[in-house]
Structure 1
Amino acid sequence: MQVLYFAWVRERIGLPKEVVETQAVTVGDLVEELRAREERYAAAFTDLSALRVAVDQELVDFDAPLEGVREVAFFPPMTGG
């Protein structure tokens, strides 16, 4: 699946996007797999309360299932005006 990183998440990981092969069942499982990769991922996913996630461009929680998903995006909460 395609994994996209935005704002400071992209800065910490050093990539805007990547294709990830995963056995993860939920978004939270995917985060754990990414954290285990190396320190830059661990740093980006330290505080999940500071992150939002979208699956196939729909906002979801970290317990959302990944079956059939093509794209997961991680980004900080948005503020508007």
Structure 2
Amino acid sequence: MAIEMLYFAWVREAIGRDAETVDPPAEVETVEALIDWLAARGGDYAEAFADKARLRVAVDQEFAGFDAPLAGVREIALFPPVTGG
């Protein structure tokens, strides 16, 4: 299951890329498991995803929680919390 990952703001800067396509193993069934799987790559990924409280997620362009299932998902965006003024 290929998923297009989009990274924004400091997440993009920490990882060094704004997008990539990933193909997680079948046992990765939720957004949280996907983030853990990405963090297990080590290096910049481990650092960027060390504190999930600093992340927000959108699944197929809709805000979602970390417990959102990955079944049928085409795109996941990871970004810091947004503040407005």
**Same fold by TM (over 0.5)?**
yes
Q: CA separation in 1, counterparts of 2:82 and 2:33?
A: 24
TM-fit CA distance, 1:39: 1.2
Q: CA separation in 2, counterparts of 1:29 and 1:46?
A: 13
- Name stretches of at least 5 consecutive residues in structure 2 with no aligned partner: none
TM-fit CA distance, 1:46: 1.1
TM (norm. structure 1) is 0.96
Compute the RMSD of aligned alpha carbons.
0.7
TM (norm. structure 2) is 0.92
Identity in percent = 58
Cα displacement string for residues 10-51 of structure 1 (whole angstroms, at most 9, x for unaligned residues):
000001000000122000110111011121001000111111
Give the count of matched residue pairs: 81
- Name stretches of at least 5 consecutive residues in structure 1 with no aligned partner: none
Asked if 1:56 is matched to 2:60, the reply is yes
Look up the equivalent residue of 2:15 and give its one-letter code.
I
Which residue, 14, 17, 20 being the options, matches 1:15?
A: 17
Runs of 4+ in structure 1 displaced over 6 angstroms? none
Q: CA separation in 2, counterparts of 1:48 and 1:19?
A: 21
